Amino acid sequence: MKRATSELVRRLDGLMPETALVLGSGLGGLVSQIDAPVHVPYRDLEGFPQGGVSGHAGELVAGTIAGTPVIALSGRVHYYEHGKADAMRLPLEVLKAVGVRRLILTNAAGSLRQDLPPGSVMMITDHINWSGMNPLIGEESDARFVGMTAAYDAEMAAGFRACAERHGIALAEGVYMWFSGPSFETPAEIRAARILGADAVGMSTVPEVILGRFLGLGLAAFSVITNFGAGMTGAELSHGETKEMAPRGGEVLSRLLVAALGERN
C-alpha cells in the first residue's frame, strides 16, 4: 500500500480531495466533468486490482467537480471476477491514506418495484448482504467487528435528498440486496428478495460499504436502475441491457452529484 500511496500523492501534486467516488456502470461520463483531470491507470498503482468487466474503465481520475476536489475510481473489481470479497480493500485504504473522508458509491441495479422503472436513481438507505460474503474475513484485529446500524451516513443522505429537491431531480430511496453474481437472479430469488424487504438487487457495493465503515469513512451510495428483476416482465436479463440502460439513469445521477458537490463550496 505504501508504494501505491506514495505514487498517488506524487501524481496528485498537492491536490488533497476529501471526497471520493466509485463509478459504476453508466457513470463513466462523469469523468468528463472533472476539471484539470489527473488520470492514473490502476496498473500504475502497485496492488490495485485490474478489473475485467466490459463497460468499466480501470483508472483513477482526480481533479475538481464544481470547484470541489475529488478522486474518482472509474471502474471497480467485483467479487464475481476473482472470488475475493476484499478486492477493493487496498484502493480504499489508499484513498483514506491520501486524505479522503467521504466515499460516494454508485452501481447499476435491478428494480424490485414497479414505481422504480429503468432509468430511475435510488439512494441506498440500507442493504442486505444476501451473498453472505464479507471483505473483513481474515482480518485479525477486533476492528473487524464493524457496526452496521448506521452504515450509510445520515448527514450525507440528508444533503443529497435536499439537493435533489432543490434541483427537481427525482430521487428514490430504498434497500439494496447484494447477490454475488455473475449470473443474474432467478424469479424465485427476486420474489424472496421482495419478501425480505429489498427494493433493488445488484452485484457490488456492499463489500465497499463494509470496508468503508471499517476505515471510518462517511458513506453514501446510489443505484442506477437498468432493468426490472427476473420474472417481473417475462424478459431475460443480460449485461448488454445493463450497458444500454445505465447511461440513462447515469445522466440523472451525474446531475445530482455535480449539484451536490457544487453546494459544498
How do residues 149-208 score in pLDDT, each as one tens digit?
999 999 999 999 999 999 999 999 999 999 999 999 999 999 999 999 999 999 999 999
Q: Is the pLDDT of residue 265 over 70?
A: no
Cα torsion angle, 10, 12, 18, 23, sign: negative
Structural domain span for residue 240: 2-262
Q: Give the mean pLDDT of 76-83.
A: 91
| pLDDT per residue as tens digits for the range 212-254 | 999 999 999 999 999 999 989 877 777 776 777 788 888 999 9
Number of structural domains the chain divides into: 1
Q: 49 pLDDT band (50/70/90 cuts)?
A: confident
Extended strands (E) in the chain: 19-23, 35-41, 59-65, 68-74, 102-111, 121-128, 172-178, 200-202, 218-228
Here the CATH number for the domain that contains residue 202 is 3.40.50.1580
- Measured between alpha carbons, how far is 166 from 129 in angstroms, rounded to an integer? 33
Question: 222 has which bridge partners?
Answer: 106, 123
> Could you identify the residue written with the cell 467485483?
78
At 50 the pLDDT is 76
Task: Kindly state the helix (H) or strand (E) to which residue 190 belongs, with its residue range.
Answer: helix 187-196
At 27 the pLDDT is 84
At 233 the pLDDT is 85
Nine cell digits for residue 248? 440513462
Find out whether 174 and 113 touch, Cβ atoms under 8 Å: yes
Q: Give the mean pLDDT of 65-92.
A: 94
* Strands 218-228 and 102-111, sheet pairing: parallel
